[in-house]
Chains A and B, each alone.
Chain A
Amino acid sequence: MSTQEALQLLGAYRVLDLTDEKGFLCGRILGDLGADVIKIEKSGGDTSRNIGPFYQNIPDPSKSLYWFVYNASKRGVTLDLETSDGQDIFRRLVKTADFVIESFSPGYMASLGLGYSELRKISPRLIMVAITPFGQTGPYRGYVGSDLVLSALGGLSHLCGEEDGAPLRISGVGQAYLQAGAQAAVAALMAHYDRLVSGEGTYIDISIQECLCWTTELAIPLWSANKEIFKRRGIYQKRGGPRYRRIFKCKDGYITYAVQAGRMTGPMHARLVKIMDEQGMAGDMKDVDWAKLSMSEISEEDLARWEALLDKFFAKYTKAEIQQMAVEHQLIACPVNDIEDISKYVQLEARDYWVALDHPELNAKITYPGFWFKTDKGDCGIRSRAPLVGEHNSEIYEGELGFSKEELDVLRQAGVI
């Protein structure tokens, strides 16, 4: 869909985006929703352009797929905030900005004379969002963060992995900074809601560690109520009964399933048992009243025997076949999809989820995941591919701020842009 057709859920609020990978997602979300997001990089381009994977595996700052994804829907300029010219230009941009988002170390912006106390003098209605690993103040303020370290200190790592084995994590795409980016957008929009009434801006201090704490689910109530530490169990789970398995091998991979009992999910398991029974594979599961039974009444021996029956049954089917069975018969089974599986998933195709974005600089179109949700008034969409280095310098600096081409040349040579 073209950007003209895209729904503007948010007004064209001006966002000045100074973030690195710790906060990209915030501006990306606001941009998708309709905001006018300007990504500001230092001259020569941000070092986060070196994050892979890369287009055709060519490690080039203009080919980072990570950069493409999380900086789509943004225009891009270069600006060196450590020069006084750069700081002046930034202050001019702030005059018409609704939001500033940054992820520099605590105190950095203030050291440039661009802290919130200065910027609010220029624009009292400005909402400024600062994303850092641990927050602007406190004993860990100066600590070095990373996706892994923040997941550890935030409590997420502890929950994942084998019993008696190392904590593990979701490979391939670091989740910590994405959690922070999404939360930053929530906070910015809460402040925006207030601003509509009060007319005032505010400064928002986001700690990535705290954002990770919000993914820890049972760990907190378990300690809070029972002084019990959540135990990792790998492919198993345990809730008020014996330890039960959640991963089963199937013909071409794995699926997620579990023997279930009780009012809510017992009947679903009963439906699978019926299917298994039609093939004579249900064993003594067919004699159990799954809705009435509770997990705590199941013995380890029974469970082991039943899980072995499931092993035999699932071995006959592919992931796709089991998924189909789940849809048709209302079962709780889900395939353990890999990246290819989910890229070809029929449900996403049916909902027109994938979007082909034009990358003229590569002479190619790249397929992206589409927008986050649909509405009855139309759909928001990715407005544009991520900007090249300084791609919109002319548009913004000449077009908006009134610099002449000659002045821009001088600034460029001085390394200001």
Chain B
Amino acid sequence: MERFPCQGLRILDFSWIYTGPIVTKFLANAGAQVVKVESPRGPDDLRGYAPYRDGIPGINRSTFFAYYNDSKLGVTIDLANPKGRELATRLIQWCDVFVEAFRPGTLEKWGLSYEDVRKVKPDVIMISFTMQGQTGPNCRQPTFGAFFQSLVGFTNLVGWPDEPPMPPVGAYPDFIGPWLVLIAILSALDYRRRNGKGLHIDISQLETSLQFLAPALLDFRVNGRIQTRQGYYSGRAAPHGVYRCKGDDRWCALAVYNDKQWIALCEIIGKPELIRDQKFATVTSRMENRLALDKVVERWTVEHTAEEVMSLMQSAGIAAGVVQNGRDLLERDPQLKHREHWTLLNHPEIGEHFAEVPPYKFSSLVVKPRHGAPCLGEHNEYVCKQLLEMSDDEFIEYLEKGAFG
């Protein structure tokens, strides 16, 4: 019988947009009970991001929001209201882990800092994550991942040497941070189990992101080299890059590391005479003449579909892969289908939509989306009565005093 690994774990989630919601979605998919708290007047900004179902905006119609918030319970709490803060405190007492991404100083205003929270729950595990951490001269600098990736150093590494840099994606640090926050949470739970103590963990997305650039950082410290953008240059392989294929915006990535693969490639592209061509016969000569080499390869790839290129190259043991877009990933990729990477969920306003499954397959456990994302405040009553075990009267008092906004 398969079970969810984090069954019984209770997460209180005060986060929004990408990083935090991805964290808590993964925990919810692992079986945790996640209560996502939103401000009634300023709910999760992601609710305001397109695409909307049928292009019609609405607080519960963003498929982008649905994508990162499945399997959670949704409540609204007005933290400016003392009854709202009281409700928040009760949820903190209920939870195992309290996750928040407010700007440093914000929770203090509401009497919900770590010091405050520890008084009502001494062994609380509180996870605070922001772009630059809780301390330091720039900790209150406003940042969104899309801009912040430039501060970290990723943007400078994208593009061609003689051209301006460009941002890698939407917000690349937001796709490193969640894994480290999850690791922090799961480790903290182990720590508490062994020591009986809670923790306040201060995560800076800058500090986690830099770990993914660490070899370049050491290269600078030790060798004085400032790594910069260099297209697809690889120190170890040529051809190495992305080559245009037949069709509109279709490309195949290709990497040849040794002579054996080079010979196979020459045969596939129908140019056996290149095998022993001085310009390309050895690894070093291929590296030296890589620009010419790229042209040779692309002259062939443009005559074939990306799928054909990949298939022919892979059959010969050469690393090759279609540059896949959203449609490829969702509908065409046979490996992702086999891995059941996508699943369908139902949502009251969006209807049926794709949800993504965390990338792990366990032999005896299951981690997967369980139900659709919450509508705003959808579970106010459920959370109060079922999770906090309030009576009807208690719940009504919170409602009438504006705790939910």
Q: Are B165 and A217 in contact (CB under 8 A)?
A: no
Q: A residues within 8 A CB of B164? A: 235, 247, 249, 254
B184 engages A373 (CB within 8 Å): yes
Inter-chain contact A256/B167, CB cutoff 8 Å: yes
Q: Is residue B99 within 8 Å, beta carbon to beta carbon, of the partner chain? A: no
Contact A217 B183, beta carbon cutoff 8 Å: no
A170 to B308, CA, bound (A): 26
Q: Which residues of B contact A217 (CB under 8 A)?
A: 18, 169-171, 174-175
Give the distance to chain A from B122, nearest Cβ to Cβ, in Å: 13
Contact, CB under 8 Å: A168 / B365: no
B35 interfacial by beta-carbon distance below 8 Å: no
Interface centre among A182, A207, A239 (most CB of B within 10 A): A182
Asked whether A210 is an interface residue with its Cβ less than 8 Å from the other chain, the reply is yes
Q: Is the CB of A190 within 8 A of B186?
A: yes
Whether A376 touches B199, Cβ cut-off 8 Å, given contacts A204-B361, A223-B330, A337-B156, is: yes
Residues 332-376 of chain A, each 1 if its beta carbon lies under 8 Å from chain B, else 0: 111111111111001110110100000000000011111111111
Chain A: CB-nearest residue to B22:
A214
Query: With A152-B323, A216-B329 in contact, do A334 and B148 touch (Cβ < 8 Å)?
Result: yes
B114/A376 in contact, CB under 8 A: yes
Cβ of A289 < 8 Å from any Cβ of B? no
The reply to whether B353 and A56 contact each other, CB–CB distance below 8 Å, is no
Closest partner residue, chain A, to B352 (CB atom):
A224
Q: Would A247 and B220 count as touching, CB distance under 8 A?
A: no
A341 partner residues in chain B, CB cutoff 8 A? 153
Alpha-carbon distance between A183 and B219 when the two chains are bound, in angstroms = 26
Q: A175's closest neighbor in chain B, by CB?
A: B212
Any A CB within 8 A of the CB of B252: yes
- With A171-B158, A340-B226 given, is the CB distance from A182 to B363 under 8 Å? no
Main secondary structure of the interface of A (DSSP, over half): mixed
Complex formed: what's the CA distance from A323 to B252 in Å?
Answer: 39
* Nearest-neighbor residue (CB-CB) of A63 within chain B: B222
Selected from B153, B203, B223, the residue in CB contact (under 8 A) with A373 is: B203
B233-246 CB mask vs A (1 if < 8 Å, else 0) is 11111001110100
A231: nearest chain-B partner, CB-CB: B249
Are A157 and B329 in contact, CB atoms less than 8 angstroms apart?
A: no
Complex-state Cα separation, A187 to B366, whole angstroms: 11
Of chain B, the residue at the smallest CB distance from A186 is B182
Q: What residues of chain B lie closer than 8 Å to A264, measured between beta carbons?
A: 45
Closest to B62 in A: A221
Q: Is the CB of B251 within 8 A of A166?
A: yes
A92 to chain B: closest CB distance in Å? 23
For A70, list chain B residues within 8 Å (CB). 214-215
Closest to B361 in A: A205
Q: Which chain B residue has the least Cβ–Cβ distance from A50?
A: B236
CA distance A175 to B136 in the complex (A): 28
- B201 at interface (Cβ–Cβ under 8 A)? yes
Residues of B125-180 contacting chain A, CB below 8 A:
132-144, 146-159, 164-172, 174-176, 179-180
Please choose the segment from B76-84, B272-280, B331-339, B395-403 that sits at the chain A interface, where 4 or more of its residues have CB less than 8 A away.
Answer: B331-339
A353 CB contacts on chain B under 8 angstroms: 207, 210
The one of A11, A222, A255, A257 in contact with B51, judged by C-beta atoms closer than 8 angstroms, is: A222
Q: How far is the CA of A196 from the CA of B187 in the complex (A)?
A: 12
Q: Is A326 an interface residue (CB 8 A)?
A: yes
Is A374 a contact of B53 with CB atoms below 8 Å? no
- Whether, in the assembled complex, A280 has its beta carbon less than 8 Å from a beta carbon of chain B, the answer is no
**How many pairs of A and B residues are in contact by the CB < 8 Å rule?**
482
Q: Which B354-396 residues sit within 8 Å CB-CB of chain A?
A: 354, 356, 358-365, 367
Bound together, the chains give a CA A46 to CA B225 distance in angstroms of: 26
Within 8 A of B (CB), among A152-185: 152-162, 166-173, 175, 178-179, 182-183, 185
Q: Within 8 Å CB of A366, what residues of B? A: 218, 221-222
Contact of A268 (CB < 8 Å), options: B55, B142, B158: B142
**Segment of B86-94, B104-112, B281-289, B312-320 in the binding face:** B312-320
Q: Given A171-B233, A178-B212, A206-B360, A139–B329 Cβ distance below 8 Å?
A: no
B216 touches A172 (CB 8 A): yes
The CA of A150 and the CA of B146, in the complex, are separated in Å by 23
A96 to chain B, nearest CB (A): 18
Best-buried of A172, A323, A338 by chain B (most CB within 10 Å): A172
A99 interface residue, CB < 8 Å from B?
no
**What chain A residues lie within 8 Å of B254 (beta carbons)?**
148-149
Q: Is A9 an interface residue (CB 8 A)?
A: yes
Tell me if A225 and B244 are in contact (CB < 8 A): no
Check if A194 sits within 8 Å of B219, measured CB to CB: no
Asked if A53 meets B215 with Cβ closer than 8 Å, knowing A155-B329, A341-B153, the reply is yes
CA distance A370 to B211 in the complex (A): 8
**How far apart are the CA atoms of A146 and B353 in the complex, in Å?**
32
- Docked Cα-Cα span, A194 to B162, in Å, equals 52
Q: Known contacts being A138-B338, A166-B251, is A191 close to B365, with CB within 8 Å?
A: yes
Given A69-B214, A223-B330, 17 more contacts at CB 8 Å?
A: A135-B361, A146-B257, A155-B329, A158-B323, A161-B158, A166-B242, A168-B166, A173-B215, A205-B363, A219-B329, A220-B330, A221-B63, A255-B150, A256-B155, A323-B151, A326-B142, A371-B207
| 25 A–B pairs (Cβ distance < 8 Å), ordered by A | A9-B190, A53-B219, A138-B338, A144-B318, A157-B251, A166-B241, A171-B158, A182-B176, A186-B26, A200-B364, A203-B364, A214-B359, A215-B172, A215-B175, A219-B329, A220-B354, A221-B51, A246-B167, A337-B151, A342-B217, A347-B139, A351-B204, A366-B218, A369-B210, A372-B183
Q: Which 9 A-B pairs have the closest CB atoms?
A: A223-B326, A210-B359, A138-B338, A189-B186, A152-B253, A194-B5, A149-B321, A256-B150, A182-B179
